[in-house]
Amino acid sequence: MRLHNLARLKTRRRTLRSKLTPAEARLWTYLQHSQLEGRKFRRQHSVGAYYVLDFYCPQERLAIELDGAAHDHERAQSADRRKDAFLAFAGIRVLRFQNEDVMHNLEGVLAEIRRHFRTTT
């Protein structure tokens, strides 16, 4: 059964890629073109029938999610927990960062991502 980038989510993925948040755009400049330790990242990669990941590294099976003010209430946090549980079941590890961390501590965010790489290039 196909799990990644289902055709029915293609339009949503494309729309999200064209409307990156400032934090997503900033982090993407450091993840694109395999710049981070040679790892290829995809942006707005979908998994399953509903979930779209901000960034995904297939080699590491690692998702990067950026959370802003929309994630500050219980309903959104509950949805994030369901999403993380589904991804864990699919064998995907999830790292979550606040948008402010990307904007004000980018080197720390990149170091934390590197710390979670399991394979060597």
pLDDT of the residue at 1: 60
Contacts for 98-102: CB closer than 8 Å, 24+ residues apart: 98/66, 98/67, 98/68, 99/21, 99/22, 99/23, 99/66, 99/67, 99/68, 100/23, 102/23, 102/26, 102/27, 102/66
pLDDT of the residue at 2: 75
Find the angle CA(43)-CA(18)-CA(33) to the nearest 5 degrees: 40
- What does residue 26 show for φ and ψ, rounded to 5 degrees? -65, -50
Q: Would you place residue 30 in the very low, low, confident or very high pLDDT band (cuts 50, 70, 90)?
A: very high
Share of the chain above pLDDT 90, in %: 68
What are the tens digits of pLDDT across the range 52-95? 999 999 999 999 999 976 656 678 788 889 999 999 999 999 99
**Fold of the domain built from segment(s) 24-114:** Endonuclease; Chain A (3.40.960)
pTM: 0.90
Q: Would you place residue 120 in the very low, low, confident or very high pLDDT band (cuts 50, 70, 90)?
A: low
Domain residue ranges of the chain, discontinuous segments joined by +: 24-114
- What length is written for the chain? 121
Share of the chain above pLDDT 70, in %: 93
